[in-house]
Amino acid sequence: MAINHGCHYYLSVVETLLHVLRDCGVSNETWLHLERTYNRPSFFGANLLSWLMNNLSSKEVTCEGWSWAMVFGVTLWT
């Protein structure tokens, strides 16, 4: 049996960790929903390490008053 490394939603896309956490349709919809309250132009353009470090160390606060680093971390965890 062959191992399939492709995304279950986008069969032509290699399923990397960054794809699963940020770029795949399901996760992308979640981030787009959250990005309405926390808009950073570079959010979808960073590599995995920069994306994680920038968001987990952010001092920004959402319009609801939540720490973006906490919202980001909890969203990744769930």
Each residue of 52-68: pLDDT tens digit?
Answer: 999 999 998 888 899 99
Count of helices and strands (H, E) across the chain: 4, 0
Residue 33 has pLDDT above 90, yes or no: no
Residue pointed to by tokens 């965890």:
77
Closest to 17 (Cα-Cα) out of 2, 5, 30, 9 = 5
pLDDT of the residue at 45: 87
Integer Cα distance of 19 and 64 in angstroms: 28
Residue 28 has pLDDT above 50, yes or no: yes
pLDDT of the residue at 5: 60
- Give tens-digit pLDDT for 41-52: 678 888 999 999
pTM listed for this prediction: 0.77
